[in-house]
Amino acid sequence: NNYFKIAVLPGDGIGPEVVNESVKILKVIGEVFHYNFQFMYGLMGAEAIYQTGDPLPESTLKICKDSDAVLFGAIGDPSFDDNPDAKVRPEQGLLKLRKELGLFANIRPLKTYSSLIEKSPLKKDIIEGTDIQIFRELVSGIYFGEKFTDEEGAYAYDVCKYSREDIVPIVHMAFQEAQKRKKKVTLIDKANVLDTSRLWRKICKEVAEEYPDVQLDFMFVDNAAMQLILNPKQFDVIVTENMFGDIISDEASVIGGSIGLLPSASIGNTNALFEPIHGSYPQAKGKGIANPIASILSTAMMLDHLQLEQAANKLRESVEYAIENKYVTVDLNADQPYSTSEVGGFIADYIKFSEKSYYN
């Protein structure tokens, strides 16, 4: 099969700019490797609210459900953040999409690039050689529990709920990944305080029995926040609940030198979505300065998911080539910055000219 339906949701802020580079590159990959990608565009987020009143219009959901993979940019708009009374928020679109598509596992890989090691505010000795795979549960927990704010605005609550069915599948995924790596899984939780965390621990121990070759560790999230920047090399695979995963993955991004580099894959049983872990960076919108690499590496994860390993590896190779040769945006090279589309174009050209098949 070489025909793939890709749903493209550019979203808000810099989302459209970075996704544009990914689409540009996918078109080149299609030519070079003889794949036929069909792109179907949909609205989501603030842009969708402005145009339709709904952060996730029905038509967008349908495009995504019909797709082989969803490529998503970013979500969020400051005009909503400053307004606590807003009834609809852009983020609701993404949360609903994750839930509707059943994207229970959000995978966030993290590694250092030797040419960028100086970019991290952390010391070289500490971060060099870090290679972590974070598995964040994505469709349960406090994000999706009952929420309430009383009329007077005097109190509010958010319920954090987990069931066995929410936890088991992602824990298996984490263990299976660890088997291909350094054979260590760390559950990050707050089991000294939270019942949901104690359930996670219990289930992790049970699942671990099926993977005797993998070591299972537990770490409280407050300590993990510290350990991640004190000694990140101690981690291999991390598995954690929704909100802890959100927080520690942003923290961990500091290790790689720029949050503009970090991709993610959100996987369910029938659908998959690929997005950078960075947000919509509204201050940079339209300026052509946003780093497209997180989106481009998310595209590489998408190619992996579609079992197009050769193309995925070629794409990662070209990103590494761009980084090693300082063909990067201002966040990574303030002295001689390239624009968003120059970086994307460079990567696209590298793929074209380094693949002999292009000339055949």
Question: Residues interacting with Mn ion, by CB under 5 A?
Answer: 246
How far apart are the C-alpha atoms of 270 and 101, rounded to whole Å?
A: 7
How far apart are the C-alpha atoms of 321 and 131, rounded to whole Å?
A: 19
Give the nearest distance from C-beta 306 to ligand IPM in angstroms. 22
Kindly list the residues in this chain that would bind ligand IPM in the complex (CB under 6 A).
Answer: 75-76, 91, 94-95, 246, 277
DSSP 119: G
Nearer of residues 75 and 306 to ligand IPM, judged by Cβ: 75
Question: Could you tell me the two tokens for 321?
Answer: 């080539």
Nearer of residues 251 and 349 to ligand IPM, judged by Cβ: 251
Nearer of residues 257 and 276 to ligand IPM, judged by Cβ: 276
How far apart are the C-alpha atoms of 195 and 137, rounded to whole Å?
A: 17
Q: Which residues contact 103 (CB under 8 A, 6 or more apart)?
A: 97, 138, 139, 266, 267, 268, 271, 272, 273
Give the nearest distance from C-beta 95 to ligand IPM in angstroms. 6
* Active site residue ranges: 143, 190, 222, 246, 250
List the single partner that 77 binds among Mn ion, ligand IPM, none, CB under 5 to 8 Å by kind: none
Give the nearest distance from C-beta 195 to ligand IPM in angstroms. 22
Residue nearest to ligand IPM (CB): 91
User: How many CA atoms are closer than 13 Å to the CA of 229, on its beta-carbon side?
Assistant: 16
Nearer of residues 92 and 120 to ligand IPM, judged by Cβ: 92
**Alpha carbon 124 to chain centroid distance?**
25
Nearer of residues 26 and 160 to Mn ion, judged by Cβ: 160
List the single partner that 10 binds among ligand IPM, Mn ion, none, CB under 5 to 8 Å by kind: none
Residue nearest to Mn ion (CB): 246
By C-alpha distance, which of 225, 189, 221, 223 is closest to 205? Answer: 189
Give the nearest distance from C-beta 199 to ligand IPM in angstroms. 21
List the single partner that 94 binds among ligand IPM, Mn ion, none, CB under 5 to 8 Å by kind: ligand IPM
Q: What is the DSSP string of 128-161?
A: TT-EEEEEEE-SSGGGTS-EEE-TTSS-EEE---
By C-alpha distance, which of 68, 90, 72, 57 is closest to 16? Answer: 72
Give the nearest distance from C-beta 56 to ligand IPM in angstroms. 12
